[in-house]
Amino acid sequence: MLDKEKVFNTAIGNEIAIPHGIEASKDSIKQSGIAIMVFPNGTDWNGEKVRVVIAIAGRGDEHLDILAKIAGNLADTDDIDNLVASDVDAIHKMFVD
């Protein structure tokens, strides 16, 4: 993930960053997963304000399903506000159920 940030800012707009590994590390992933960090007041992410960081590790092509789930749950600013105000269980339900 750190190598990816050196060559490409993973902030995608809408106050979201989606850090992920480089292509060469893909074979090292044993199980897909995500880690979500919420910064209610925002944090500087390579010069952009970000409130939600979703780190992705996708085994094989599973990262595509993970990205689709993120896009479906965080389509607009209201979705970001809802996630930032949610507790751990609600956030888990958004992305796992």
- Catalytic sites, residue numbers: 20
d(CA 58, CA 65): 9
d(CA 48, CA 13): 8
Instruction: Looking at 1-97, list the stretches that DSSP marks H as alpha helix, in order from N- to C-terminal side.
Output: 2-7, 62-73, 77-85, 88-96
62 backbone dihedrals φ, ψ, rounded to 5°: -65, -20
The tokens for 44 are: 């500087």
